[in-house]
Chains A and B, each alone.
Chain A
Amino acid sequence: MRSTLAAGLLIAASLSTAAAAGEIGRIKSVAGAAQVVRGAAVTPAAPGQLLQASDVLRTGPDGRLGITFVDNSRFAVGPNSSIALSTFEFDDTTHAGRSLTTVNRGSLAIVSGQIAHENKDTMRVRTPTSVLAARGTRFVVVVP
């Protein structure tokens, strides 16, 4: 079980840069300074903006973001944050999928969605010292 999990984490890490292009969610609300980093391109965050796997969300001292994902999960991003949407795979038909979100810095509130609901420990959040798995729920992660 443990080695399976470790292998899963490795796969998640290795796929994070090769995730398929395509809409995984969108920005619903923006307050203060916030950007979306996609590869070398940095754009100011705007309501309605589409997000892809591997995008990085950044907020300034007064920045906040509200985000919805295609599996019905939702994020609220607080100020001074840097959060990468490292992996996001979701099958509309079967509701199977997996996601890995990396909180490098800042605060993130999460309401989990169909990915977490369908299969155990498939919605993950990585911090500099830990990996978290949502087991169906609403939680906050703070990385100072």
Chain B
Amino acid sequence: MTRRIGLALCLALGACATAKVGLLPGEGGAPAGAVAVFDPASGAERGQLNQPDTETSLGGGPVRPRPLTGAYDALLAAMPAPAQVFTLYFIEGTTQLSPESVPTLDALRHAITSTSDVQITGHTDTTGDAATNDRLSLDRATQVREVLVADGLPVSNARVTGRGSRELRVQTGPGVSEPANRRVEVIVR
């Protein structure tokens, strides 16, 4: 009964569109992945979209993929760019930037704007004990923030963490000097 009234209303108003979900091609050639649809009350899976440029209505029935309709260019134009990651390398046991990372630091300076969300994470190699490495990794990250702040960039509230030698870029045993692991990763969103 309610459904019939709803149908009559939407015919009268010319607004019969139902809610829908559409799967787009992955960004930059990435695989499309999938979107699953569940019943909100039971949690039962109604099916999924796993082909790019398909859509299904969300009216309550099973998922029935069909070709994507509608234009999403205007909507997607508002999508922010992907996060950028900058990796800066350091001289062993110090917070001194390695000379080859100077161009990366310059690129980082140019990437940060007034609306950027900046996350700075320091790392060490496996030489030295854990406490020393935790401190050194945080010192490296803090040093990068201070350099950027000194340049007048709005990163005084950036999240700064030190991960010690927990997250190696190149896997090594303990006590190994590895330049690729002595680094600060800066994510700019």
Contacts and interface: CB of A to CB of B under 8 A. Distances in A.
Interface string A71-98: 0101111100000000000001100000
- Per DSSP, are chain A's interface residues mostly helix, strand or loop, or mixed? strand
B19 A2 contact: no
B174 interface: no
B38 A131 contact: yes
Interface residues of B, number: 53
B21 to A, nearest CB: 5
Contacts of B40: 9, 126, 129-131
A127 interface: yes
A142 B43 contact: no
B74 A6 contact: no
Interface residues of A, number: 55
A4 B80 CA distance: 34
A29 B79 CA distance: 9
Interface string B27-70: 10001111111111111111011000000001110000000001
Contacts of B19: 127-130, 141-144
B169 interface: no
B43 A132 contact: no
Contacts of B115: 26-29, 47-48
Interface in A117-144: 121, 125-144
B53 to A, nearest CB: 11
B6 interface: no
